[in-house]
Amino acid sequence: MSIRLSLVALLLRFWLPLLLTCLYAWRRGGGPERVVAAMLLSAAIATIVVRSDFAIRYHTISGAVLFIDLLLFGGLVAVATKANRQWPIILASLHGVTLLGHLGKAMNPDLLRLGYAAMLSLPALPGIIVLALGTWRHRRRIARSGADASWNR
């Protein structure tokens, strides 16, 4: 596959769903949906800024990417503990799989580049779907009862 087709595939498979879901969560979601949308988008952009050249990417652990993933995980866990929602727990768990990818590479530096890349990137799309479904369920609760408390007291 050419690099151009790879970039188009990345745009269609990750960036377009991420941007549309974040926009949906920001416009139609409550506090937790908006916070998580901002965190996911910020982490994705920060990862692009700090990631290494493609020729060496996934050969070793990028400390900057690991730091971003740790910050995102911490933020997702914080939202999961404070939000009056269940979906943030699922999203934090999915992102935990990404952290396990870093741990796997640290424990086995010979881990195949493709395996490491898959462990870091595959949980992202289900995470985007979880945010979209969480936002949709928030809208349903508002339509049904007129209100939906965002945060635990």
**What is the per-residue pLDDT for 85?**
95
The alpha carbon of residue 13 and the mean position of all alpha carbons in its chain are separated, in whole angstroms, by 13
Q: Convert the pLDDT of each residue in 3-14 to its tens digit.
A: 565 656 666 788
Q: Convert the pLDDT of each residue in 31-87 to its tens digit.
A: 999 999 999 999 999 998 998 777 678 888 999 999 999 999 999 999 999 999 999
Q: What is the mean pLDDT of residues 82-95?
A: 97
Q: Are 78 and 127 in contact (CB under 8 A)?
A: no
pTM of the model: 0.90
Both tokens of residue 15? 């960036």
pLDDT at 138 over 70: yes
**What is the per-residue pLDDT for 133?**
98
- What CA–CA distance (Å, rounded) separates 80 from 75? 9
Q: What is the mean pLDDT of residues 109-117?
A: 88
